[in-house]
Amino acid sequence: MNEENEILGFCALSEGCISYIISFTSSKAACIASAVSLAFKSAAESNTVWKRFLPPDYQDIIAKSVSPVIYCSKKELYFHLCDSPLLRDDGKLTNYAAYLVFKTHQNSYGLDSSSKASVKLVQQSIAEIEGKNNIVYLKQPTRRHGRLRQLGVKNIDGWLAKERRDGWMEIELGEYFNDKGDEGDIQMQLLEIEKLHWKGGLIIEGIELRPKEV
């Protein structure tokens, strides 16, 4: 009964307020919320919600697309970008990088040790053709500069997570250059199995692929 009252009380909020709350969840949660009621459906499908799920530079992304990107709502644009990769910059070959987008809970633990990250271009029935392991840190390591130098990390800031304009954190996993056409797959990996201690409080939004920042 209390749960029903909570749902009824939540539905009493304005559509704008509900949209604002849903925008702090995820695309999957927004789709589930749209099935709750007509009021939730309208709020969950609003541009306010889906703009939060788009990359911060989405306008620049679609502006540089070789083919026109046609959409009627931010939700439609979101799924278009998910399902249909865009060819940018007149189709010129470009170095791309993969970025893990995440947050950590205020009570997170065990995430300040080094992890091995890689982005590799792999072809079917053929050995791995490109990629290397990089040492990255999701959180500032406890033993800072001296420890990092021992590990051979010269550019400290380049391997630490950085905060984005949308409030999420991101860390570059690696980069790749594809001059092999459509053959093969991109394999992205973040691995930490050497420090045998508990870890918790890591919230993953997803992985973004975009032209390498210079």
Structure confidence by residue, pLDDT tens digits, 144-196: 444 544 544 444 444 788 888 888 899 989 888 766 556 667 888 888 877 77
Domain boundaries, the chain: 2-83, 93-211
CA pair distance 51, 181, nearest whole angstrom: 32
Residue with more model confidence, 143 or 204: 204
Average pLDDT of the residues in 132-145: 72
pTM score: 0.55
pLDDT of residue 101: 92
pLDDT, tens only, 1-15: 455 555 556 667 888
For residue 156, what pLDDT is reported?
Answer: 47
- Summarised one tens digit per residue, pLDDT across range 61-99 is 888 777 788 889 999 999 888 877 676 666 566 778 889
pLDDT at residue 117 greater than cutoff 50: yes
Q: CB under 8 Å to 204, separation ≥6 — which residues? A: 100, 101, 102
- Measuring CA to CA, how many Å separate 119 from each of 79, 134, 168? 24, 9, 21
The two three-digit tokens of residue 5, written as one number:
């009252």
